[in-house]
């Protein structure tokens, strides 16, 4: 059987912009309906984590502490920032995701999807990716004009 059809551990990456996080919730619903047995995580920045906390279709919310990292760096506490980032990345990698879906597709979100350790990384194809983020995806999804995206996870 093709491993692509066997995604048991799925990570959604949509870090910021509250409205955009909310707009990605239908993706979560579609994934949960398609893969009721899958373990689904979501990587989000701390300021938007409360929207996802306790969501019945999510198994875990992973929080990227962007504000704390920025504050540490502004105060010159580079080692403390590095420790915080590495701790967050270790937690993410420990989940052993099969696939990550980068619903933001900027350099930061794509880099974090890559650092999650997921061997299969889905992101948008240009022109819907920013900052050459599509280079970090293993699969690029082209957005059809006036159409809907179709992902093959089941």
Question: How crowded is the C-beta side of 14, counted as CA atoms within 13 Å?
Answer: 20
Which CATH number characterizes residue 11's domain? 3.40.50.2000
Q: How far apart are CA 51 and CA 154, in angstroms?
A: 27
57-71 as b/e: b if 16+ CB within 10 A: ebeebbbbbeebbee
Identify the helix (H) or strand (E) that includes residue 64. strand 60-64
Q: How many domains does the chain have?
A: 1
In a domain, 147, yes or no: no
Whole-prediction pTM value?
0.84
CB count, 10 Å around CB of 13? 30
**53: containing domain:** 3-141
In a domain, 150, yes or no: no
| N-term to C-term CA, the chain | 12
In a domain, 148, yes or no: no
> Which residues, listed in sequence order, are joined to residue 110 by a DSSP beta bridge?
none
Among residues 42, 90, 87, the alpha carbon closest in space to that of 69 is found at: 87
In a domain, 53, yes or no: yes
Sequential pLDDT tens for the chain (154 residues)? 344 556 799 999 998 888 889 989 999 999 999 999 999 999 999 999 999 999 999 999 999 988 998 998 999 999 999 999 999 999 999 999 999 999 988 899 999 999 999 999 999 888 777 778 888 788 888 877 765 555 555 4
Among residues 67, 61, 117, 53, the alpha carbon closest in space to that of 89 is found at: 117
In a domain, 152, yes or no: no
């Amino acid at each position: 059987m093709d491993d692509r059809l066997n995604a048991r551990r799925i990570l959604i990456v949509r870090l910021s912009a509250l409205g955009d996080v909310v707009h990605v919730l239908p993706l979560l619903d579609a994934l949960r309906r398609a893969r009721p047995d899958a373990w689904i995580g979501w990587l989000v920045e701390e300021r938007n984590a409360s929207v996802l906390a306790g969501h019945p279709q999510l198994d875990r919310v992973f929080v990227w502490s962007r504000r704390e990292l920025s504050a540490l760096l502004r105060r010159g506490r580079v080692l403390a920032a590095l420790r915080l980032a590495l701790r967050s990345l270790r937690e993410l990698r420990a989940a052993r995701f099969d696939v990550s879906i980068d619903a933001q597709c900027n350099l930061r979100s794509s880099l974090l999807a890559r650092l999650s350790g997921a061997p299969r990384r889905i992101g948008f194809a240009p022109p819907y990716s920013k900052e050459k983020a599509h280079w970090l995806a293993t699969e690029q999804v082209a957005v059809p004009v006036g159409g809907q995206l179709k992902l093959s996870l089941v």
